[in-house]
Structure 1
Amino acid sequence: MSDHQSSIEKGVHPHDVPHTRIDVVEAGEVIVVPEGSRFMGAWTAKLESTLGLEARGIERVPEDQRVRKVTFGDYVQMTLIWFSANLTLNNLAIGVLGPATFYLGMTDSMLLGVFGIIAGSLGTAYISTFGPMSGNRTLVLARYTMGWWPSKLCVLLNIVIMLGYGLVDSLLTGQLFSIVSGGSMTIIVGTIIAAVLALIVATVGIKLFHVYERYAFVPQICVLFILIGVAAPYFDTSIKASGSSTVVFADRFSYFMLCASPPLAWSPAGADFFVYFPPDAKRRWVFLSTLTGLAVGSFFPLLLGVGLACGAQTNPAWGAAFEISVGALVNEALSPLGVFGKICSVILGLGLIANNVPGQYSAALSFQLLGRWFRILPRFVWVIIGTVIYTVLACAGRDHFSDIFTDFLALMGYWCIMWVLMTLCEELIFRRGDRWYNWDDWHRQERLPIGLAALAAFCIGWVGAVLSMWEVYFTGPIAKMVGDGIDLGLPVGGSWAVLVYVPLRYLELKYVGR
């Protein structure tokens, strides 16, 4: 049954939904019966309609059920989504890693961090343009490159990424709340509070999501400016990179790639939030809106993190706080403000919800893409399940935050770069632009690529990434060739995947025909 037919049978005519500016984007009112039991589908549709939750899951949004005309305000909204979601403490923690983990100086950490973020944001900005163009969720698009079954590898990996974001965000909030309360609130309690607040927004869906992300940056940016004013005098600008020239080069390159990974890891969710915008949205403006919001929102707190880490090397109080956690370092930097400083710390902790919500929204959609039976459960149920999973893991790993954070950041970008580059090759070489995509085929397995070329390229790319990675627990033989180790997982994995994909895709089209 097509989306158009389904909406009419449920009594929602396509032209009955609102079409003023962002009304459709925030409404999410189109009722679609999930696959599986029609009783279950009707029950969940009624429940979602009654509670005001977003009814749509992974089903495509047809053109006649979207905003009629895109405006400048729509592009601003796209920018604010990404700006709010990344103007958060987890990016500050990435900045801390430059001087603290890679032993870099203040200047090179800041420059590498900014350009690394911009590089990683390019992939997510590109993928986000498919949202208005196709009306399909991000990893539904993976079927057009990876095929029906191989694309489920991307789905599984995206679930890991987004639940990993939830773990890191909620745990960092829990640490900060525990420090501010003087230990009277345990990290576990703070973690659960952060998870529940994110759960509420993600459960309601696209309507509350867009409204929340539109304003979430306001208290964050105010507190970050306050933090600059209080802490900047203690930043030690004289800190320089340590080690031989070869070691310093390897550390710089590895940190650049580390900073590129978090914005790149948003690519499997890049189109999820834009499917209600019209297909006539200018692709270049969607790209620039995403790039601007994601990059600027990310590198502002990152620069602060670099400064705090450099200050911690010469300020004994900051150094002692940093030994406890990043949250303790932030709280110590704000301590001259007394009680107001603690309030600022709480606001920064709550700001991580803005980063967590998009991830949990995307993870719920990915669960539905695992198979027909997974679609029986509505989107909001998967939000709850995902929240329980990452909260339990966060509480269990609360004493190993630094190791979890560093290793998770590096790993999550490896597969994303492979998928993004294969998608780019598929569009530019084999599809030659949007006109060769049939977006209504999103659920027709027999009309999608069989995916053998993409699967082979994906596997070969992973081999290259593993051979080139530099992690705490493993250093690949290629990575050992420079300094004490260099993380080449992103460029090697991505290039190997492309080199394998292009010729195999030619053969696949020639002999299979799709």
Structure 2
Amino acid sequence: MMEEGKDTSSVGAGPEPASLESQSSDSAKSTNVLTRLNQRITSVRFLEARGIERVPESERHDVNAADYMQMTLLWFSTNITANNIALGMLGPISFDLGFVDAALCATFGSLLGAAGAAYMGTWGPASGNRTMLNLDKVVARYFMGYWPSKICALLNIVIMLGYGMIDCLVGGQVLSAVADGNMSIVVGTIIVAIITWAIVVFGMSIFHIYERWAWIPQLIALFVLVGSAGPKFDTFITSSGDARTVAGNRLSFLSLCLSGAVAWAPAGADYYVYYPPTTKKWKTFTMTFLGIGLALVFATLLGVGLASGTFANADWAAANEVSSGALILEGYSGLGGFGKFLGVLVSLGLVANNIPGTYSASLGFQVLGRYGARLPRWFWSCISVIIYTACALGGRNHLYDIFENFLALMGYWVTIFLTIALEEHLLFRRPHRGFDWSAWSDPSKLPLGLAAFTAFVIGWIGSIMCMYQIYYVGPIAKLASDEGADLGIWVGCSWAMIVFPPLRWLELKQFGR
């Protein structure tokens, strides 16, 4: 596993001397106190001091087979979790899909989204920059331009905090069910949040160690769940509605599963910045794809199975009325105390999903501007945990609505960005020019971003016109079926794909960059 070195010159070390001279003596004294406090905290052993700075090649390490395997284990641990089981439940429960339809949509949607996240992961070793930092410092400055990239950085923070909210909420539901309701969902949610905070505040080294082993108890617990609950899966349920309605629901659920996987794309390279530039891109892609894809397929299929059982099993249906976490625990019924122990493992497994999102969100806050960059990563980690914990407590009775609306909406912009990035890479960079990573801070050598921003906005317009959510149904989505179908990802990507190449060609011809 790759360990990272300490960098006591990281962000959060306080303002420059010149700025201190312009402040009052009281302000300067306050700043010095905060600086000393930050230096004392970052001196704690194993706590990562580095923030958004690029990792120089001198601090990176040789890569071997174990490091490539670490990529897969990291992403497998992150996604073999209860929140993705709850995502799979939406197929039969919310979209009225049969077992086969829901299983196929979950499988192919998850794999397609995993491919997008794996592609973005390949940029970490190449540049030494985090992806969202790439969105401000490297990759997206080349794809989107300087200012438009900040929009993506802000949206990534929303994704990561949203995932934190869902993780804490599902974990709280399972813990509450284990305690037979004697522990409230509020208390369970806070427990998951505190454990996440205790790990993520230390940064990358502890995070990699945790993710290397976290998948083992999760996989054991879920294999037992398959054996315990599998006989009660109803694989014979069929999709409800006429042909147009079923087709629309299939597409909507596939898009939702795609969104759940591709949401990792903006953070895909955050965890590879200590890998050397010689790291093989195809190996990085393959190992990341396997980690995300295998975990999500297994978890969502398990969710589809649990949801199918609610149609024929009254106890399961009653548990689902309480919460998705209660339904997961009901799958262990008959195992007594051992089943409750496994339920605790499943609930705490959500920490593995929550840690990378919180880590990336804390870096995202630093990206937004110089004021955010002055505050250290550990501080923003604390703020991130507080924000999504409060949101989870406020939305604890609306998990399915949060899943359906939040994931789909975030999937729109991520897939549009991926489309622009792929076209810039394959059509305009690869044949003629590569990426000069040393020019990341020189605006005169970076694209203006006019073409990418215009394509991004046009793609968003297409997504809005074709989205199908509780709060809004686009005019085109209404035409797809009687109950609507979520076409946002597909139309948004296609519109951006069509308009970006000619606009980028004009931009290069006019400005040469």
TM-score by length of 1: 0.93
Q: Does 1:27 align with 2:4?
A: yes
Paired position in structure 1 for 2:236: 238
Picking from 37, 48, 59, the partner of 1:54 is 48
> Are residues 1:498 and 2:476 paired?
no
Q: Indicate the residue corresponding to 2:414 in structure 1.
A: 416
Shift of 1:297: 0.8
Residues 1:271 and 2:248 aligned together: no
1:191 deviation in Å? 0.7
Q: How does 1:276-425 map to 2 (within 5 A)?
A: 276-425=274-423
Of 133, 155, 164, which residue of structure 1 is paired with 2:153? 155
Please tell me whether the aligned partners of residues 235 and 310 of structure 1 are also in contact (alpha carbons under 8 angstroms): yes
Q: Which residue of 1 aligns with 2:22?
A: none
Does residue 37 (structure 1) correspond to residue 15 (structure 2)? The answer is: yes
> Are residues 404 and 30 of structure 1, via their aligned partners in 2, closer, same or farther at CA, if it must alter by over 3 Å?
same
Question: Out of 160, 180, 187, which is 1:182 matched to?
Answer: 180
Q: Which shifted more, 81-90 or 328-337? A: 328-337
Tell me the amino acid that sits aligned with residue 485 of structure 1.
G
Partner of 2:103: 110
- Would the alpha carbon gap of residues 70 and 130 (structure 1) be closer, same or farther in structure 2, given more than 3 Å must change? same
Please say if residues 33 and 45 of structure 1, whose CA atoms lie closer than 8 Å, have aligned partners that are also in contact: no
Note if 1:172 corresponds to 2:170. Answer: yes
Q: Secondary structure at the match of 1:216?
A: helix
Map 1:183-202 to 2 at 5 A.
183-202=181-200
Identify the residue that residue 205 of structure 1 maps to in structure 2.
Answer: 203
Judged with a 3 Å threshold, the aligned counterparts in structure 2 of structure 1 residues 446 and 368 are, in CA distance, closer, same or farther, namely: farther
Q: Deviations over 1:36-86 (max 9, x none)?
A: 61466686355313343111111111222201x211111100000100000
Change beyond 3 A, Cα 1:41–1:131: farther
Q: Which residue of 2 aligns with 1:7?
A: none
Change (3 A) 1:396 1:104: same
Contact 1:470 1:487 in 2 (8 A): yes
- Given that 1:32 and 1:59 are in contact with CA atoms closer than 8 Å, whether structure 2 keeps it comes out as no
Change (3 A) 1:319 1:255: same
Aligned-residue offset at 1:435: 6.2
Match of 2:450 in 1: 452
Q: Following TM superposition, by how much is the alpha carbon of 1:443 offset from its aligned partner in structure 2, in angstroms?
A: 3.2
Q: Is the 8 A contact 2:5 2:59 kept in 1?
A: no
Give the aligned partner of residue 65 of structure 2. 72
Report Cα offsets for 1:78-113 as digits up to 9, x if no partner.
Answer: 000100000001111111111111111111211111
Partners of 2:456 and 2:473 in 1: how far apart? 21
* Alignment pair present for 1:89 and 2:82: yes
| Structure 1 unmatched runs, 5+ | 1-21
Quote how far apart the aligned CAs of 1:143 are.
1.7
> Is 1:60–1:442's contact at 8 Å kept on the other side of the alignment?
no
Q: Name the CA shift for 1:241/1:281 in 2 (closer, same or farther; >3 Å).
A: same
Letter in 1 for 2:111: I
Q: Deviations over 1:187-243 (max 9, x none)?
A: 111111111111121110010011000000000000001101110111111101111
Query: For residues 434 and 161 of structure 1, do their structure 2 counterparts lie closer, same or farther at Cα, with a shift above 3 Å needed?
Result: farther
Distance 1:441 1:32, change over 3 A: farther
- Note closer, same or farther for the CA distance 1:52–1:508 as it changes in structure 2 (3 Å cut): same
The question of whether the paired residues in 2 share the 8 Å contact of 1:26 and 1:208 is answered with no
> Which residue in the other structure is 1:3 paired with?
none
- Asked if the contact 2:411/2:489 (under 8 Å) is kept, the reply is yes
Equivalent residues of 2:467, 2:477 under 8 A apart: yes
Which one is further off, 208-217 or 475-484? 475-484
Query: 1:479·1:487 contact (CA, 8 Å) conserved in 2?
Result: yes
Q: Counterparts of 1:265 and 1:497 in 2: how far apart (Å)? A: 18
* Cα distance between partner residues in 1 of 2:293 and 2:407: 16
More divergent stretch after superposition (428-437 vs 371-380): 428-437
Q: Which amino acid aligns with 2:408?
A: A
Cα pair 2:81 2:350 within 8 Å, conserved: yes
Check whether the contact 2:201–2:382 (CA below 8 A) recurs between aligned residues: yes
> How many angstroms apart in 2 are the aligned matches of 1:55 and 1:501?
39
Residue identity (%): 50
User: Contact between 1:427 and 1:434, CA under 8 Å: does it hold in 2?
Assistant: no
Deviation at 1:262, TM superposition (A): 0.9
Query: Which deviates more, 454-463 or 441-450?
Result: 441-450
Deviation at 1:433, TM superposition (A): 6.8
Aligned match of 2:119: 126
Letter in 2 for 1:496: W
Q: Separation in 1 of the partners of 2:43 and 2:420?
A: 38
1:438 maps to: 436
Residue 469 (structure 1) shift: 0.7
Cα distance in 2 for partners of 1:470, 1:431 equals: 36
CA deviations over 1:324-368 (Å, ceiling 9, x no partner) = 111111111212111111111111000000000000000011111
Q: Does structure 1 conserve the Cα–Cα contact (< 8 Å) formed by 2:90 and 2:400? A: no
> Retained in 2: the 8 A contact 1:33–1:42?
no
Partner residue, 1:101: 94
The alpha carbon displacement at 1:371 in A equals 0.6
In the comparison of the two structures, how many residue pairs are matched? 490
SS at 2:238 equivalent: coil
Aligned mates of 1:45, 1:430 — CA distance in 2 = 44
Structure 1 residue 32 displacement after superposition: 3.4
Residue 216 of structure 1 pairs with residue 217 of structure 2:
no
Q: Which amino acid aligns with 1:26?
A: E
Aligned equivalents of 2:235, 2:450: Cα separation in 1: 52
Q: CA deviation at 1:505?
A: 1.4
- Whether contact under 8 Å (1:41, 1:376) holds in the other structure is no
Q: Deviations over 1:270-315 (max 9, x none)?
A: 0000010011111000000000000001111111111111111100
Q: Which runs of 5+ in 2 are unaligned?
A: 17-31
Name the TM-score, length of structure 2 as normaliser: 0.93
| 1:34 CA displacement | 2.3
CA 1:117–1:61 in 2, change beyond 3 Å: closer, same or farther? same
